[in-house]
Amino acid sequence: MRGPDRLELSGERFGVVYHLTGTEDEARTKAADLCVEQTVEFPADLLPAGDIPDHIVGRVESFERVDERRFEALVSFAVEVAGGELTQLLNVIFGNVSIKPGVRVERLNLSPAILGLFGGPRYGREGLRELLNVPSRPLVCTAVKPMGLDVAELAELAHQFALGGVDLIKDDHGIADQSFCRFDERVTRCAEAVRRANQMTGGHTLYLPNVTAPVNELARRTQVAKRVGAGGLLVSPGLIGFDTMRDLAGDDAVDLPIMSHPALLGSFTVHPSAGFSHFALYGQLMRLAGADACIFPNYGGRFSFSESDCRAIAAGCAEPMGAIRASLPTPAGGMSLERVPEMCAFYGNEMVLLIGGDLHRQGASLSDACRRFVEIAERADTRSAPTTSPGPF
């Protein structure tokens, strides 16, 4: 029997906190407009009375001033509007209003019915630490690059990195399936090189090939990666879509940890009054979409993220989100061994240190440079006694 609610809605709503720029009147108008724009997208005065204006249209739950020209509105939506899927959830959160100036998604307040739709990171912090047999210190990662080296050269790099005991070796995100370095051969050879090194050292280094690829090629590359023994996947959701990454993360036949790369996503955070907050994009959204570790540009590197942006990302990676596991912030972009102690002090142990080019500057063999990298991360372990041993190397 149908109750007074013709649409049979549960009554559960989820929230999105928006920052709105302008005068108070302008911001209030923006908040009211987006309730319509993100749902019915129809003249409010022409809506039939009842469920649609009462339940389907978004609702401004609170409105506060943040500063002179910035206001914060919490808008709620019926969970059913998101249709049980990430694509439509993104659409409700920021589909049309992304096109309006002065609207930024600050934070997602997702309700149990929404959080329950998503598996999130398959491994998360603890799972990845278990795979790597690294219970406490910050994790250590480097990248196979530059583009233009041939397969044998890249595999030799991977071998040296793994001999040096780094935890994670990822492909550079620009290495795809170029004619001068084919995916299948490269991933096969790099995975084999890492396996050989692990056998020699007794280590657990994982190799994460870049599987970002056309949609009709993605499954095949992922299967190749899995078959030849890759230990994880590098994925750029900006290039293949957030939902595609979610699908990969949830695939039991793949069953590999995912490191996300921010390629093409810069426009979402480059303007402080548009797009997404760093917290929402690199913390909450990447976790919904299944990233176990999330690469972003660290403050003080080649990019322009601030310390406060980076602190927000770290918080978003750990923010309670129902059963969705915490992810590992992976600050990168021109980092150096010198900065490791400072970065560890800033982020704490729950992070991945990602250093590429600087390992090639150490005047030592690459495997020695990697050993030094791991050693510095061990010494920075804030959970160990201050006089901890520097480790086996």
Q: Are 151 and 181 in contact (CB under 8 A)?
A: yes
According to CB under 8 A, which residues from 267 to 306 bind its own copies?
Answer: 267-271, 274-276, 297, 302-304
* Minimal distance, residue 302 CB to its own copies, in Å: 7
Amino acid 80 reads E
Q: Helices in 164-257 by DSSP H: which ranges?
A: 183-201, 215-227, 237-240, 242-249
Q: Which residues, numbered 160-219, are part of the site for its own copies (CB under 8 A)?
A: 172-174, 176-180, 212-217
- For its own copies, give the closer residue by CB, 159 or 246: 246
Cβ proximity to its own copies, 60 vs 239, nearer residue: 239
Find the binder of its own copies among 24, 29, 66, 101 (CB under 8 A). 101
CB 299 within 8 A of CB 344: no
Q: Which of 23, 29, 62, 87 binds its own copies (CB under 8 A)?
A: 87
**For 289, what's the count of Cα atoms within 13 Å in the CB-facing half-sphere?**
27
CA of 369: how far to CAs of 117, 125, 189, 199, in Å? Answer: 43, 25, 22, 20
Nearer CB in complex with its own copies: 357/392: 357
User: Does 95 sit near its own copies (CB under 8 A)?
Assistant: yes
Which one of 12, 62, 65, 100 is in contact with its own copies (CB under 8 A)? Answer: 100
Rule CB under 8 A: is residue 38 a binding residue for its own copies? yes
Please identify, using beta-carbon distances, which residue of 311 and 360 lies nearer to its own copies. Answer: 360
What is the DSSP code (8-state) at residue 7?
Answer: T
Q: Does residue 32 bind its own copies (CB under 8 A)?
A: no
Residue 367 is a binding residue for its own copies (CB under 8 A): no
Closest CB to its own copies among 78 and 380?
Answer: 78
- What's at 275, amino acid-wise? G
Cis status, amide bond into 146, omega within 30 of 0: yes
Nearer to its own copies, 203 or 238 (CB): 238
Is 220 a residue that touches its own copies (CB under 8 A)?
no
Q: Report the candidate in 343, 384, 393 with the shortest Cα–Cα distance to residue 136.
A: 384
Per DSSP, 147 falls in state B
Binding mask 312-351 for its own copies (x = CB under 8 A): ----------------------------------------
Residue 141 to residues 158, 194, 221, 328: CA-CA distances in angstroms? Answer: 11, 13, 22, 12
Q: Which of 285, 367, 298, 369 is nearest to 327 (CA)?
A: 285
Q: Which residues pair with 264 in a beta bridge?
A: none
Q: Which of residues 232-271 bind its own copies (CB under 8 A)?
A: 236, 238-241, 243-244, 246-247, 262-271
Interface residue with its own copies among 322, 341, 357, 392 (CB under 8 A) is 357
